[in-house]
């Protein structure tokens, strides 16, 4: 069993049904183009930038 399998199993036990990569979520929100999605893009980009600074 890989680390990913262990993580996925733990998330499923907590009721999480899917995982999405942050970059994919940002692209998806932009593509949707709805105001509520576009409002979140800036927040998601800030999270991405913060993560890249700590890596």
Q: What is the mean pLDDT of the chain?
A: 90
User: Is residue 24 predicted with pLDDT exceeding 90?
Assistant: yes
With b for 16 or more beta-carbon neighbours within 10 A and e for fewer, the 13-51 pattern comes to eeeeeeeeeeeebbeebeeeeeeebeeebeebeeeeeee
Domain ranges of the chain: 21-55
CA 21: distance to chain centroid? 5
The half-sphere exposure of 15 on its side-chain side, counting CA atoms within 13 A, is 0
- Higher pLDDT, residue 12 or 18: 12
Please indicate, yes or no, whether the overall pTM of this predicted structure exceeds 0.75. Answer: no
* N-to-C CA span, the chain: 26
pLDDT at residue 20, rounded to an integer: 84
Q: In this model, does residue 19 exceed pLDDT 80?
A: no
């Amino acid at each position: 069993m890989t680390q990913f399998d262990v993580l996925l199993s733990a998330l499923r036990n907590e009721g999480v049904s899917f995982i999405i990569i942050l970059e994919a979520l940002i692209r998806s929100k932009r593509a949707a183009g709805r105001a509520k999605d576009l409002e979140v893009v800036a927040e998601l980009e800030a999270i991405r930038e913060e993560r890249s600074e700590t890596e």
